[in-house]
Structure 1
Amino acid sequence: MTRNTEGLDIRVVGGGVIGLTSAITLAEDGHRVRVLSRDAAGGTTSAVAGGLCWPYRIQPYERAVAWSVRSFQVLTALARRPEETGARMVTGTMTATTGGGRDASEGAGEGGDDGLAAWYDAVPGLRPARATELPEGSAAGWRARTPLVDMPAHLRYLEQRLTAAGGTVERCEAGSLAEAGAAADAVVNCSGLGARELAPDPDVHPVQGQLVIVENPGIQEWYVSADTGATDTTYLLPQPYGLVLGGTARENAWSREPDPAVAEAIVARVARLFPELARARVLAHKVGLRPARPEVRLTAEQLPGGVPLIHNYGHGGAGVTVSWGCADEVLRMVRTVQEGRGPVGG
């Protein structure tokens, strides 16, 4: 896209990965952007995320996969500077489809029926796993090298990149979207779970995710077994700060307090596949509330008074995976507004 020369004053509500990537894309296009966020980036749900770039618990699949492919491209480029960006390319094994319950080796790169065919085609080198590459108890899977993001580090990078582009972050809670737009040319609503009250949108609800961080005994690859709709998942993600073990996906559970029994069950599930982790030293327990919705809301309308409002929320467990693709769509919508054609739905 060609950078525009007459920017708008834009308020982005929400300082997680969706809000920051949207803000960066707009600021780097020449707009004057201010992010309004109740929490510091490190205190958002994004900071708790495991950080694997893979479409998970998100609809509609066709659009989500397109957004994911774009984010894959951006994160792959950022992985050339891992210490700065928090993104790395890491090989791993997926042993269940995230789009359905089919055998994990079916459909990879072959236009399968789980809605992720375009994603399979976009991941270089993705292939069915050989039996020797699977943990004991896993019947099938596939191997892929994908971005794995250290989210606390990545959020710091995003804030710094936004500042470098001329954007700002203001620690405050938006009382309403109309209030956010009072002195702006446009508002972008990236409030995640907060959209339940701000939009207001009763379809937004939490999917609670609990994970355990343990000392890494030397594991260098990720492993995931997580079917869409499953309450309990099994995964491990090697991060610089420790090995992330997961997890849970509990609809409409609001608690942010780790449950010791759930944590014990998570470690036990992972240890059945990787016995060396049974006695790994626990470093931390974390709980995050994924901002879920039947489908992502990426649409535009007008606030009372005519200020354009773009919604970008409801990404569930795939925020980092779709962030840059969704940010590109936000930019296209803003440009449509700027050209005088009025807000358009996504």
Structure 2
Amino acid sequence: MTSVTVVGSGIVGLTSAIMLQESGFSVKLISKAGFEKSLSWKVGAIWFPFEIQPKEKTNRWATLAYQRYATDVIEGNGIKFIPFITAYTAESNIDWTSQLPAGKVRQATREELPKGMEMAFISHVPLAEPLLYLPYLFEKFLQSGGEYKELEISSLKELAALDSWVINCTGLGAKSLCNDDDLHPMRGQILRCNKMKIPSFANPTKRGALSYVINRSEDSVIGGTDYENDWNESIDPADTELILNRLTESGVTENPEILEVIVGLRPRRSAVRFEFDLNYPNVFHNYGHGGAGFTVAWGCAMELAEILEKRN
């Protein structure tokens, strides 16, 4: 059985590890800290192709992930399908709507639009609650014979020496690991609140002014920010006020009760790096998924497994 080591324990690393197991590989998982320290632990995690390129590959990955989530709805694992209102403009990439199953997406009526939206789709999409889904995936990996170790890798040379095949799923950490000038943070600040009695929606039509509400089983996530090249991981009270003001501007009259303010840095790139390394041909890079890690991770993992099966 061919051995593979996956580096990174966020949603991209975990799905890659499990998909490789399902394809017959012996898999080890390494990360500098557990999944509960990853960016994936912090996010709202709804199926939504946000700030990710290239478009054609993203559409395919997102479609495959949608199909995988449909088979992964298990009581208590954090996966369910919910209606989601998504605003768009004439310039928006709406190709993802054609990838959904028949009857799972439609145009929103004027009466259904939150205030400030001119056009939107209502789609039935997967919601993955990280605090439930990541532990479920990690346990699934271990029960399938996977091995896990906490270890910080400081160079590509060190990474390549880990195994016969090595998958780099280190997210923003790949910037220093790979000296990747294209990879940069997109800072997100969100508010975790008591569950609200409004529809889940997202308005990504104004760059730098992302606004959304994601209703989960026990709480609601209100966002957010999408600041490019911003490394600040501290809570900014001004951003909290900004997020709440945008919520009011969208016509929401309910006053949210804030439980927690969370900041995370999305790994943004001009295009996802999904390729073998030129200097270390046993290393495959799978990072730079922007704000769409949960949306495309399973799709990337499936294509990755196909690639390695052909090389094996």
Q: TM-score range by the shorter chain?
A: over 0.9
TM-score normalised per structure 2: 0.94
Trace 1:81-96 onto structure 2 (pairs within 5 A). Answer: 81-84=74-77, 86-96=78-88
State the 1:75 CA deviation. Answer: 1.1
Q: Which has the higher contact order (CA 8 A, sep 6+)?
A: 2
Name the amino acid aligned to 2:117. Answer: S
Contact kept, 8 Å, 2:203 with 2:211, in 1: the verdict is yes
User: 2:257 aligns to what?
Assistant: 281
Rounded to whole Å, the distance in 1 between the matches of 2:101 and 2:112 is 19
CA distance in structure 1 between the aligned counterparts of 2:234 and 2:209, rounded to whole angstroms: 17
CA distance in 1, matches of 2:218, 2:184: 29
AA of the residue aligned to 2:79: A
Q: How far apart are residue 274 of structure 1 and its match?
A: 4.2
1:298/1:330 CA distance change after superposition, 3 Å:
same
Aligned position for 2:34? 40
Partner Cα separation in structure 2 for residue 212 and residue 28 of structure 1 = 36
- Cα distance in structure 1, aligned partners of 2:160 and 2:99: 41
The letter of the residue matching 1:78 is D
Q: Is the 8 A contact 2:35 2:41 kept in 1?
A: yes
Measure, in 2, the Cα distance between the counterparts of 1:222 and 1:211. Answer: 15
The corresponding residue for 2:193 is 214
The residue identity in structure 1 corresponding to 2:285 is H
1-structure distance, mates of 2:237, 2:184:
24
Q: Which moved more, 1:13-22 or 1:138-147?
A: 138-147
Instruction: Provide the residue aligned with 1:128 in structure 2.
Output: 107
Distance in 2 between residues matched to 1:53 and 1:255, nearest whole Å: 26
Out of 273, 276, 296, the residue aligned to residue 297 of structure 1 is 273
Corresponding residue for residue 238 of structure 1: 215
Cα gap change, 1:95/1:116 in structure 2, threshold over 3 Å: closer, same or farther? closer
Structure 1, unmatched stretches of 5+, are: 1-6, 103-112, 339-346
163, 181, 193: which one aligns with 2:142: 163
| Aligned residues with identical type, % of pairs | 32
Whole-Å separation in 2 of the counterparts to 1:68 and 1:83 = 23
| Secondary structure in 1 matching 2:292 | helix
Greater Cα shift, 169-178 or 248-257: 169-178
State the Cα distance separating 1:265 from its structure 2 match. Answer: 1.0
1:13–1:189 Cα contact (<8 Å) kept: yes
SS of 2:71's equivalent in the other structure is helix
Query: How far apart, in 2, do the equivalents of 1:260 and 1:157 lie?
Result: 33
Q: Which residue of 2 aligns with 1:3?
A: none
- Give 2:49's aligned residue: 55
Q: Distance in 2 between matches of 1:281 and 1:114?
A: 32
Distance 1:32 1:181, change over 3 A: farther
How far apart, CA to CA, are the structure 1 residues paired with 2:259 and 2:145? Answer: 37
Deviation at 1:88, TM superposition (A): 0.9
How big is the shift at 1:136?
A: 3.1
The alpha-carbon deviation at position 241 of structure 1 amounts to 3.6
Q: What secondary structure sits across from 1:207 in the alignment?
A: strand
Q: C-alpha deviations, 1:99-146, integer Å up to 9, x for none?
A: xx41xxxxxxxxxx8554254342442111112212233332111111
| TM-score of the pair, normalised by structure 1 | 0.85
C-alpha separation in 2, matches of 1:201 and 1:236: 33
Q: 2:123 aligns with which of 140, 144, 158?
A: 144
Instruction: Find the aligned partners of 2:83 and 2:98 in 1 and give their Cα distance.
Output: 15
Counterpart amino acid of residue 261 in structure 1: A
User: Where has structure 1 moved over 6 Å in runs of 4 or more?
Assistant: none
Equivalent residues of 2:6, 2:29 under 8 A apart: yes
Provide closer, same or farther for how the CA distance between residues 175 and 136 of structure 1 changes in structure 2, counting only shifts above 3 A: closer
| Alignment check: 8 A CA contact 2:196 2:215 kept | no
1:270 aligns with: 247
CA distance in 1, matches of 2:148, 2:269: 26
Contact 1:14 1:189 in 2 (8 A): yes
1:56 deviates by 0.9
Partner Cα separation in structure 2 for residue 170 and residue 144 of structure 1: 39
Aligned to 1:109: none
Distance 1:19 1:204 in 2: 18
Q: How many pairs align?
A: 311
Q: CA RMSD in A?
A: 1.8
SS of 1:94's equivalent? strand
Using the TM superposition, name which of 123-132 and 22-31 deviates more: 123-132
Tell whether the 8 Å contact from 1:12 to 1:187 is kept in structure 2 after alignment. Answer: yes
Amino acid at match of 1:95: A
Q: Is the 8 A contact 2:191 2:261 kept in 1?
A: yes
Partner Cα separation in structure 1 for residue 311 and residue 293 of structure 2: 25
Equivalent position of 2:291 in the other structure: 317
Q: Partners in 2 of 1:318 and 1:183 — Cα distance?
A: 28
Corresponding letter in the other structure for 1:224: A
